Amino acid sequence: MSRNVSVRSEPLKYAQKICVGPHVFHSDESIDLEGNDVGPNPDELLMTALGACANITARMYAERKRWPLLGVETTLKCERVHTDGSAPPGANNTVVDQIEMVISFAGDLSEEQQQRLFEIANRCPIHRMLVSHAQIRSELR
């Protein structure tokens, strides 16, 4: 069950204090965007959630199957791309966010086991939330 998350602005321009249960960390924008870089930016936090969830989901599956998975490494990158993939300069095509995720597994795993773990990791809860266009209900207090 998820714990509540609290995010509060800090005195530094874009810095945010994030509290999740007993855990406290920070988010900010990079210096080139006039932040102070005291923590990952929001895009990076989203990617960490996806990478962590994919890794944990693969690990849980491997444990249930008693497969010799020793570790999982996921690297992620987010960029904004044109929907047709090759818009010429000045074109008015739709731009979307695209997350590239590369997953590798350590351990004495067969190709079939690695492929199955890859499929499972790509169905983790955060991945499903992102591709299903989660609904967000907001209210002002």
pLDDT category at 133 given cuts 50, 70, 90 is confident
Note if the pTM is more than 0.85: yes
**Per-chain mean pLDDT for the chain:** 93
Higher per-residue pLDDT: 20 or 1:
20
Lowest mean pLDDT among 74-78, 92-96, 106-110: 92-96
Q: How far apart are CA 40 and CA 31, in angstroms?
A: 11
- For the segment 29-55, the average pLDDT, to the nearest whole number, is 96
pLDDT category at 88 given cuts 50, 70, 90 is low
Give me the percent of the chain exceeding a pLDDT of 90. Answer: 83
User: Is 51 within 8 Å of 74 (Cβ atoms)?
Assistant: yes
Q: How far apart are CA 122 and CA 55, in angstroms?
A: 10
- For the segment 120-124, the average pLDDT, to the nearest whole number, is 97
User: Is 22 within 8 Å of 28 (Cβ atoms)?
Assistant: no
Per-residue pLDDT at 87 exceeds 60: no
**59-85, pLDDT tens digit by residue?**
999 999 999 999 999 999 999 887 765
